Homo-oligomer: A and B are copies of this chain.
Amino acid sequence: MIGDRVKEMRMKKQLSLSELEECTGITKSYLSNIERNISTNPTIDIIQKLASGFKVHPLVLLNWKEGKKELQSTNDSLEYIKYRINSMDNEQLRELKDYVSVIEWKRRKIPLCDLIKFI
């Protein structure tokens, strides 16, 4: 439950609801509802504000890492990559890192209309 994680992180940072309101821009009344699991389905905008206030990656709040395994159970690419990179030296890692960038760049650079043609 996301409310439990929000409360735990706020406690660790020793913040009051008012202080968290100030650094996230979320009203303390709503923060209170989230922490008590009265509101359990916040929007992505709220998640971003929380992550920004706590200075953490949004995934820390969402705890979606487990779901990923199930979602990608159809292929073993991710597990294979994770397993193999642990035995790579720095030179190999640097080469792979560059290729990661290339893969993501390709995804952004190709216009939608051109993409559809080749699929």
Contact = CB atoms under 8 A, between A and B. Distances in A.
A93 B64 contact: no
A64 B62 CA distance: 13
Interface stretch (A15-23, A24-32, A83-91): A83-91
Most buried by B among A57, A82, A107, A109: A57
Q: Which 7 A-B pairs have the closest CB atoms?
A: A77-B93, A77-B97, A41-B43, A41-B45, A84-B100, A57-B67, A99-B99
Interface of A: 2, 8, 11-12, 14, 41-45, 47-48, 51-52, 55-59, 62, 64, 66-68, 71-72, 74-75, 77-78, 80-82, 84-88, 90, 92-97, 99-101, 103-104, 107, 109, 112, 115-116, 118-119
